[in-house]
Amino acid sequence: MNTVTAHTHTGSRRYVATWVWLLALTAVEVLLAYLHFFSTLVMLSILMFLSIVKAGLIMAYFMHLRSERVTLILTLLPAGVVVIGLLFAFLPDSLRLLELRSR
C-alpha cells in the first residue's frame, strides 16, 4: 500500500467517524425533544449546546478548518459574532411585528 492510498483510507475513516458522531448527536437531540426529561429552558440549552458541537464538527472536518491556520479561524470568528449580534438586534423588531399581525 503506497502512501497516497494509506492517506486516502485514513481520510475516509475520519469522515465516517465524524458522520457517526453527527448521527449520534442528532439521535440524542431527537430523543431529548420527544422524551421531555428536563424543563423547557434546560432542554433548549442542551439542544443549543449539542447543535454548536455539531456545527463545530462540520466546520472542523467537512469544511477542513481543522488544518487551517489560526489566523483564518480568528478572522471567521468575529464575523460569526457580528451575525449573532445582528440576529439579537433585530429580534425585538420581529417580535413587535408578530404582535402587530395578531391584532
pLDDT tens digit sequence for 14-62: 899 999 999 999 999 999 988 888 888 899 889 999 999 999 899 888 8
* Rounded (10°) CA dihedral 87, 42, 59, 11: -170
pLDDT of 81 > 60? The answer is yes
Q: Retrieve residue 101's grid coordinates.
A: 399581525
